[in-house]
Amino acid sequence: MTIDGLVGKPELNGQRAIVLAYNTTTITSRINVKTDDGEVLALKVSNLSQAADEVFPAAEMIQDPEMYPSYETDVVNVLDRLASLPAAAYDFDACESCLNRAAMWLSDLDDPEQHDLDPRPVLLALKRNDEAGGSRPDVFAIACVNLTFLLGSPAKAEALSNAERDLGINLLGLLSAGLRSYVESDELLSAAMMALRQLIASWMPPTAADDDQPAMDETTFAKLCEAKLLESITVMLKAHAPLREVDGGDGGGIELHEHAIAVFSLVAGRTPNARRAAALIGASAIEPVLGVITCLLPETDGYEDEEESESAVGVIRAATSLLYAIAAAAEGREALAASEAQVVVISAEEAFQDGCEGEPMGEEMAKLMVELNDLRERIDGCPEPMETELGIEERTAAVSVSGEREE
Q: Give the other-Cβ count within 10 Å of 404's Cβ.
A: 14
> Which of 349, 337, 364 minimizes the C-alpha distance to 297?
349
How does pLDDT run across 19-44, given as a tens digit for each residue?
A: 776 666 666 667 788 887 888 888 88
- Cα separations (Å) of 308 from 45, 148, 305, 312, 321? 59, 27, 6, 6, 20
Other residues' Cβ atoms within 10 Å of the Cβ of residue 191: 22
- Position 407 scores a pLDDT of 47
- The mean pLDDT value of the chain amounts to 86
- Per-residue pLDDT reduced to its tens digit, 229-245: 999 999 999 999 998 77
- Taking only the tens place, the pLDDT of each residue in 31-77 is 788 887 888 888 887 787 765 445 566 788 788 887 788 888 889 88
Distance in angstroms (rounded) separating the CA atoms of residues 16 and 30: 17
Q: Highest mean pLDDT: which of 28-42, 93-107, 148-162?
A: 93-107
Helix (H) or strand (E) holding 35: strand 30-35
pLDDT value of position 53: 46
Can you give the pLDDT at residue 24?
Answer: 61
Give the residue-averaged pLDDT of 344-367: 79
CA atoms within 13 A of residue 312's CA, in its CB half-sphere: 24
**Contact predicate 139/99, CB 8 Å:** yes
SS3 355: helix
Check pLDDT > 70 for residue 387.
no
Q: How far apart are the first and last CA of the chain?
A: 77
Chain segment 183-215, per-residue pLDDT in tens:
999 999 999 999 999 999 999 887 776 777 789
CB within 8 Å of 89: residues ≥ 6 apart: 50, 52
Crossing angle, helix 392-402 and helix 363-379, to 10 degrees?
Answer: 120
Q: Report the percentage of the chain scoring pLDDT > 70.
A: 86
Cα R_g (the chain), whole angstroms: 27
